[in-house]
Amino acid sequence: MTEPDREGPPPAVRLAGISKRFGAVQANRDVALEVAAGSIHGIIGENGAGKSTLVSILYGFYEADEGRIEIAGQKAVIRSSADAIGHGIGMVHQHFMLVPTFTVLENVMLGAEGGALLARGRAETRAELLRLSATYGLEVDPDALVGDLPVGLQQRVEILKALRRGARILILDEPTGVLTPDETDRLFEILRGLRREGVTVLLITHKLREIMAVTDRVSVMRRGEMVAHRETAATTREDLAELMVGRKVLLEVPRVETAPGAVALRADGLTWRDARGVARLKEVSLELREGEILGVAGVSGNGQSELLDLLSGIEGVQEGRIAIGPRAIDRAHPADPSEMRAMGVAHVPEDRHRRGLVLPFEAQENAVLGYHHGPATGSGQLLDLGALGAHCATLMRRFDVRPANPRLRASGFSGGNQQKLVLAREIEQAPRILLVGQPTRGVDIGAIEFIHTRLLEMKKAGAAILLVSVELDEIMALSDRIAVMNAGRIEGVLTRAEATPHRLSLLMAGVREGEAA
């Protein structure tokens, strides 16, 4: 991509020969990158491709083992975040670096207070905040507590923080993971505004749609290496996906049409409060039929996790009831997860590290968790290690878990393979009802294709599947009906034909049908 005699200003960022190794893992190998000043440049790649490592090197979180960094044509040595800030680089992290108990103003000031006492810096920062808000359309109340703000606004605070420090190069690491589609559009508007003012934006993402929507150029990473640079206008999603994975992939698994059968699970008026008395679920009712996938969409933290907890028996029902066949579960008649399992309810938890697996345990032990009284573990009180290993090897073969080593600790597998192991454990029980939370979070495209195919096979075989996901693409690709949650309520249920991104977005934001002008 280098054109040595090109006219105009030097690139905002030029990286050459960047390598970084963590123990046995080569996270970046001889990476080169050139980002034109005043452009929006995307870096795309699967999880573990080395994108985050690369920008962490640029922002001074890691030091490269080898390589050269140039900022605006000048060689730069970046050993710490302070160095990066000094070079006009700002970063909006995937997980916000904000102090929740501080106000917006205090968060923006932190590290750039302007003197030993706060009073003067406070006044100056406030004036500067108002100016930046007006210039870039980043309205936010300087005196609001950050912990009280919705994530979309918290993200704005992060951007303001970077701009306040004079950032001319803004790195955003997976910025849309927590946003609704409409909030994402707002963010992209802001990024275009920044570009207009001459700010260079580096957007790290694994979502093809975002690259196509907002970037000028895109660089693709795979397994620690930079494999291609493209003008966004001159490429396609399919082209990029192939570059990311290294082979042709189906971005959308062919649909399987089935006629929904009998109601397998019915929830009526579920209201649930957490230990602090905050209502996390409010009168949630739904029906789940055999041979259908019911998608539950929503920004994370709007009650989806609690719904899964109740339906899987992890938390007890407080108000309302759940009916599975003849069994009615309510406050007076609770059911624990093992009873749920016995009734044919399998659960693939949202957080596989905390609930799906015991990371320090071997794969073969993880492969029977929850079913450890079953035949796979042997009889009586002693584990039959041979049987465990054989059972796990079978699961690994059927679900293409790599490396296929039953004795390897769960923590030794990649995210995609961990997820396949959890799915294998649950699906192999041939459940009547499958509850799935975020099945492809942190999972690479190749494995996504595989997981989606297995879920559709389950549906075809007549299972009732409840799919909770924050990835709208996933919900749209798999679901027959879509329930949208906001603030603990189901705001509406749409069939797939009715569900446009815009309609879903309105429901996710809590605007009900008919209210939208």
Partner 1 sequence: MTELWIDALRILDGSLRLATPLILCAMAGLVSERAGVIDIGLEGKMLAAAFAAAAVASLTGSPWAGMAAALGVAVALALLHGFACITHRGEQIISGVAINILASGGTVVAGIALFRQGGQTPPLMAGERFRPIRLPGAEALADIPVLGPLYAELVSGHTLPVYLAVLSVPLIAWLLGRTTFGLRLRATGEMPLAVDSAGLSVAVIRYRAVVIAGLLCGLAGVFLSTAHGAGFVREMSAGKGFIALAAMIFGKWRPWPVFGACLLFGFLETAAARLQGVTLPLIGPAPVELILLLPYIATVVLLAGFFGRAVPPRALGVPYRKER
Q: Which residue ranges make up the site for partner 1 (CB under 8 A)?
A: 59-63, 80-86, 91, 93, 95, 97-102, 106-107, 109-113, 115-119, 121, 161
Nearer to partner 1, 12 or 98 (CB): 98
* Gap between the Cα atoms of 249 and 135, Å rounded: 42
If the CB atoms of residues 18 and 85 are measured against partner 1, the closer one turns out to be 85
DSSP for 379-415, written as a single string? STTS--HHHHHHHHHHHHHHTT-SS--TTSBGGGS-H
Nearer to partner 1, 63 or 197 (CB): 63
Measured from the CB atom, is 4 or 115 closer to partner 1?
Answer: 115
Beta strands at 66-71 and 13-22: parallel, antiparallel or unpaired: antiparallel
* Cβ at position 457, least distance to partner 1 in Å: 40
Q: How far is the CB of 113 from partner 1 (least distance, A)?
A: 4
Pick between residue 80 and residue 338 the one whose CB is nearest to partner 1. Answer: 80
Shortest distance (Å) from residue 89 CB to partner 1: 11
What's the closest the beta carbon of residue 498 comes to partner 1, in angstroms? 42
Work out how close the CB of 68 gets to partner 1 at its nearest, in angstroms, rounded to a whole number: 20
With beta carbons less than 8 A apart as the criterion, state whether 487 and 271 touch.
Answer: no
Amino acid at 275: A
Nearer to partner 1, 117 or 497 (CB): 117
Distance, in Å, from the CA atom of 252 to the CA atom of 453, rounded to the nearest integer, reads 10
Q: How far is the CB of 76 from partner 1 (least distance, A)?
A: 15
Q: Which is nearer to partner 1, 102 or 361 (CB)?
A: 102
Decide whether 38 or 121 has the Cβ nearer to partner 1. 121
Rounded CA separation 143/314 (Å): 39
**Helices 181-196 + 501-508 axis angle, to 10:** 100
Token pair, residue 8, equals 């105009």
Q: Are strands 293-297 and 464-468 parallel, antiparallel or unpaired?
A: parallel
**Burial profile 320-354: b = 16 or more Cβ within 10 angstroms, e = fewer:** bbbbbeeeebbeeeebeeeebbebbbbbbbbebee
**CA 466/CA 482 separation, integer angstroms:** 10
d(CA 299, CA 506): 12
Cβ-based neighbour number of residue 111 at 10 Å? 12
Q: What b/e string do you get for 212-228 counting C-beta neighbours within 10 Å, with b at 16 or more? A: bebbbbbbbbbebbbeb
* Rounded Cα distance, 129 and 124, in Å: 9
Please name the residue ranges forming H helices in 321-384.
337-342, 363-366
Closest distance of CB 357 from partner 1, Å? 23
In the complex, what is the shortest distance from the CB of residue 65 to partner 1, in angstroms, rounded to a whole number? 11
Chain centroid to Cα 155, Å, comes to: 15
Nearer to partner 1, 161 or 352 (CB): 161
Q: How far apart are CA 363 and CA 406, in angstroms?
A: 5
Minimum distance of partner 1 from residue 142's CB (angstroms): 15
Specify the residue, 82 or 342, whose C-beta has the smaller distance to partner 1.
82
Please, what is the minimum distance in Å from the beta carbon of residue 273 to partner 1? 16
Write down the least CB distance from residue 111 to partner 1, Å.
3
**CA–CA gap between residue 239 and residue 217 (Å, rounded):** 14
Which CB sits closer to partner 1, 49 or 294? 49
